[in-house]
Amino acid sequence: MTPRYAITLISPLIFLLDRATKYLIETRVSLWDTHSVIAGFFSIIHTQNKGAAFSLLQDAPDWVRAVVLIGVSSLVALVVAFMLVRALKPSDTQGNFVRVALALVLGGACGNLYDRIFHGAVTDFLMFYWRDYQFPSFNVADSSIFIGACLLLLDMNRSANKPEEKTPEPALPAN
Catalytic residue among 18, 33, 92, 142: 142
User: Could you tell me which residue, 165 or 30, shows the higher pLDDT?
Assistant: 30
Whether 92 is a known active-site residue: answer no
User: What integer is the mean pLDDT of 25-54?
Assistant: 94
Radius of gyration of the CA atoms of the chain, in A? 21
Contact 48, 146 (CB under 8 A): no
Check whether 44 has a pLDDT greater than 70.
yes
Q: What are the residue ranges spanned by the domains of the chain?
A: 3-151
Whether 142 is a known active-site residue: answer yes
In tens, the pLDDT along 56-109 reads 787 888 888 888 899 999 999 999 999 999 998 888 778 888 999 999 999 999
Catalytic residue among 18, 62, 124, 132: 124
For 79-88, give one letter per residue: b (16+ CB within 10 A) or e.
ebbebbeebb
